Amino acid sequence: MNDNGGVLPLERLVNVRDLGGFAAADGRFVRRGLLYRAGELSLPSRGDRAALEKLALAAIVDFRSGEEAAKNPDCAISTVKLRAKLPIDAGNILALSRKEGDVPGETLMEDLYRCLAEDARPRYREFFAILADSRNAPLLFHCSAGKDRTGLAAALLLSALGVGREQVYRDYLLSAVCLEGKYQDFIEEDPGVAPLMTVKRSYLDAAFESIDGKFGGIERYLEAELGADTGRLRELYTARGFS
């Protein structure tokens, strides 16, 4: 794994990183330069745009709701041939937290992750179908902050590639570092929202617990619920050595 977790050193865009380098199944590694995760891609600096162009992305998957995407549209990237909108409406968790002030933010986020694992299956199924088409690589997937809808998508993808659970968590928790300071104004105004603006192990725990308890474990969930062809995905996105 890259020492910096594959984070791209961009100026305005945050939480953009290459998923390559993780140890995968059968002594292989996730290939670099093929799979990227990110927050929203609106308002990049000139240097950020140049960096995105250099990735030669073929496809972008956007998990944001239509309202989110309309408010902050992705920047244009000349190499992209497929822009797939797979909206997952996570609800206004900030408004909910203020309405349900007696419910801890951690509890709200854990509930959100259970909902993502259970209710967003059709969108994640579409995501895995796109991944299985080699014409769509290199591919970048994102939501607004790149931590929840994208965070679970990355956890599912890495699991499908045979990456160990602790390394899946390592990638997931890196969002807390990448987003540090981004929501400071919100937190200063209302410290109670702090758990909503980051990631914690218990949030992803909740998703995996739901997957284990309701769907018979991650392997069955990936295959039966998401239609993931793990053999195909590993052929496309993993290799011997750090290629």
* Long-range contacts formed by 171-177: CB under 8 A, 24+ apart: 171/5, 171/19, 171/22, 172/199, 172/204, 173/199, 173/200, 173/201, 174/5, 174/7, 174/17, 175/15, 175/145, 175/146, 175/147, 175/151, 175/199, 176/200, 177/5
Is 75 noted as a catalytic residue in this protein? no
DSSP type of residue 79:
T
Angle between helices 201-215 and 165-178 (to 10 degrees): 140
The angle subtended at Cα 140 by Cα 136 and Cα 141, nearest 5°, is 110
Catalytic residue among 75, 115, 143, 178: 143
Catalytic annotation, residues: 143
